[in-house]
A and B are shown apart, each in its own frame.
Chain A
Amino acid sequence: MARAFIIPLCTFLVLATSSGWSQDVKLTAQTKQVVAVGETFTLSYTLNGQGNGFRGPNIQGFNVLSGPNTSTSSSIRNINGTTTMSITYTYTYLLQATREGSFDIPAATVTVNGRQVVSNPLTVKVVKGSAPTGNQGTSGNRGGNTQQGGGGLGANDVYVKAFTSNSSPMQGEGIVVTYKIFTKVPIANINISKLSSFSGFWSQNLMKENDKLQQTTQVIDGEQYVVADIRKIALFPLKSGRLVIDPLELNCVAQVRRQTRTRTGDPFFDDFFNDSFFNTGVANVEKTLKSNPVIITARPLPEEGKPADFSGAVGNFTFRSEIDKTRLKTNEAVTLKCIVSGRGNIQLIDKMNVSFPPDFETYDPKVTSDIQTAAGGISGNQTFEYLMIPRKPGKFTIKPITFSYYDLDKKRYVTLSSPEYTLEVEKGTGESSSVMTYSGANKEDIKYIGSDIRHIKENTITLVSAGTRFFPSLAFWLLLAIPALLYLLFLVLWRKLAARRSDTVLMKNLRATKIARKRLRTAEQFRKGGKQDEFYIAISQALWGYLSDKFGIPLAELSIDSVREALVSRNVDESIIAQFMETLNNTEFCRFAPGEKTINMDRIYNEALEIITKMERELR
């Protein structure tokens, strides 16, 4: 609640103090309310007091030609014995209106006795410059009335017109646009205020800035005009289609011989002063002139037969190339020059399609232009100087350099090419190779010149019907199952076979003693019967058969050696082996020995019986 009172109170105090003070000192801004484009006018601030620290407004929308200029005047008055002194400070700006519209000039401030005084803001309306404002010319002083408006200047008295040499050129074909001024009155101070940016074109000024205007006279519709070229520009359309060149605008001062009216209010004096004798003054009328816009329809270059290396050159050219040497040493520089000369958009040719050998060190070309700008267009030559340094010895070729342009006379593309150059580079001497030693090893990374996908496969294509998969297919399972089954079959068969074979061996082993004893019994009968030969055969069979059955050695493989081997492998005691061998030998000896054999028959029989029994025991 308390705060609600305080705020209005404070406001009141501030208002009261400032209003009381402002009654004394005032900063008043003054200017014209309506001005024309291009007109120069003054903006003044008047301060009825002594101030300092004038802070001018931020003026936008106008050119500030000068200011703020300060002037002071003081006056002393004595009224009824009271002397008052008043000082007036005036701050003046000189402004020029640049474009149409309504512009606000914000307030300026000045400090008086440590207090800020604020001026009134202003609004200036800028109207079209159709009515050029006379400025204070020579005649103005006389009548004290300045000339306003271009009343004395006819619409056709002075004008600017743009001409083009060809309004439908090919893309890249040069045209010349000429701006001419036509005037019936003397003019001065031609000042181009706005020149088109020629967007969509490459432009080249064909007139030097300081050239004097060449004047000619021309009669148009029965009236004599002075005509002068004020600008001449060569233009090369960079794209096809409709291109608009904005109008050129210029300011000039036309000198109009003109009566000035003095308004004295007295008809006699008016007549007197407005008499032609006195009225010898010339009015300088400032005028803004605007040319017509130019519309260019650029035709596109034909697509048909367009070379791949075409880069936009249009005209009529010749092309040649020079190389300063073809035999050189490594690290020596070689210069390749490409020279294009002729007429056309020659300066737009910015590079040549030179394919250097990959191992060469190359630099950006030095481009030298020698261009003549004549009224008819542009001609000259453009030189590209390529410097290259081979770093490796070898034989290198520079492929023919091609240059393509569109020939306007022949109406087709022309491709010119240089010869192919072959460079023979020898290994340089030691001093030059020392340049390279910093690289250490004489190796370098592979340089990739391009990248591309890998080539197609042509010979290894094995087509398969779509959707056929080996995994998991019947074939896959069969390929697993069939070998497995085959193996199982094999296993079963093998087991059976092995079982059968092991059976026979075991049987023979078990029956070996039995058979041996049976044979020995047969031998016993032969002995009793006196049949010597049969006896020995039976003994022999008993011994050999026993070994064969016992050790699973086939009869065909039986020999003293094989038997010994088999016995040794069974870890049979050496004495038993020896005894067995002896018995065998004795039997064989007695069997084939001549003479009486009966005596030994008992001994042999006992020996055989004994050794078989011993063997039986040993092998158990």
Chain B
Amino acid sequence: MRRTTFYTVILVLLAMVRGASASPQDAILSKAGKAYTAGAYAEAADLYRKVADGGFESPELFYNLGNAYFKQNDFTHAILWYERAKRLDPGNEDINFNLNVANTKIADKIEPLPELFYKRWYNSMVRLMAVDTWAMMGTGMFIAALLGLVLYTASRVLFLRKVGFWSALLLFFFTFITLLMAWSGYTFSQSARDAVLVTPTLTVKSSPDEKSTDLFVLHEGTKVRLVDQISDWYEIRIANGSVGWLPKSSLEII
């Protein structure tokens, strides 16, 4: 009796999270998929765009949209949408592959600054899965750990009590780790926003003023990190550590 209520609660919660999949969107998606396969990339992009603009998101949707732009040789928007897909699913191999291909097509080549090895490992671990996936794993492990404790408390057999105790201990540890990953990923995504340049050629300024010194030139498709903003300007940082100011209209946030 207790167990069934437990499952019901989980199912209700999951339904709240995932949302009911809408059938009209599915129709548009399958139409877009057919258009893409038939080579009508512009049409496919429009259809995917329609779904995305309708307030839906999914890594696969953004990935497909990126592909549709790529096939039209619009590498800038392809990169933008691949990056958006990557945001939702950082560890996806296909997304990363296509993003790399698209990045070879753009003008700017920026040597990224090397990170400290443990920082790099930590970051690559955080990026292994989406924040939500980490969080779900964490809750699952938490529940499993509690079940282990139940076993430890209730069993009269010594062996089962031992199993329950140790598994609970281990699962609590993993819960801690996964929730730490989820939290790291979440704070990271909240604190640092990335953007892609959508204007063909841009001069990065030394201060948020049109008349200030020109620092360096960037081309469309380059990813930058937003550091600060003042009125119509963003302070940006590129992968090699250079910092400057760009007008807001020249960027599209990932």
Contacts and interface: CB of A to CB of B under 8 A. Distances in A.
Nearest to A495: B153
A472 B136 CA distance: 11
A331 B63 CA distance: 45
Nearest to A476: B135
Nearest to A486: B6
A470 interface: yes
B146 A463 contact: no
Most buried by A among B17, B56, B63: B17
A363 B171 CA distance: 64
Contact of B58 (A464, A470, A484, A486): A464
B167 interface: no
Given A471-B186, A475-B17, A483 B142 contact: yes
A461 B58 CA distance: 7
Interface stretch (A35-43, A90-98, A449-457): A449-457
Interface string B147-160: 00110011000000
Contacts of A210: none
Nearest to A461: B60
Contacts of B170: none
Contacts of A463: 19, 21-22, 25, 29, 51, 56-58, 61
Contacts, number: 110
The interface size bin for chain A is: 20 to 34
B38 interface: no
Interface of A is mostly: loop
A456 B64 contact: yes
Interface in A436-484: 451-458, 460-466, 468-473, 475-476, 478-480, 482-484
B182 interface: yes
Interface string B92-131: 0010011001100000000000000000000000000001
A469 B102 contact: no
A253 B237 CA distance: 76
A456 B38 CA distance: 12
B13 A475 contact: yes
Contacts of B16: 475
A234 B36 CA distance: 49
A494 B154 contact: yes
A471 B135 contact: yes
Interface in B68-89: 68, 70-71
Given A453-B98, A471-B186, A482-B9, A460 B60 contact: yes
Contact of B56 (A457, A465, A487): A465
Contacts of A456: 33, 36, 63-64, 67-68
B199 interface: no
Contacts of A592: none
A490 interface: yes
27 contacts: A453-B97, A454-B67, A454-B98, A456-B63, A457-B63, A457-B94, A458-B29, A458-B33, A461-B29, A461-B60, A461-B61, A462-B21, A464-B58, A465-B19, A466-B57, A468-B17, A469-B186, A470-B131, A471-B134, A471-B182, A472-B135, A475-B17, A480-B142, A483-B6, A486-B2, A487-B149, A487-B150
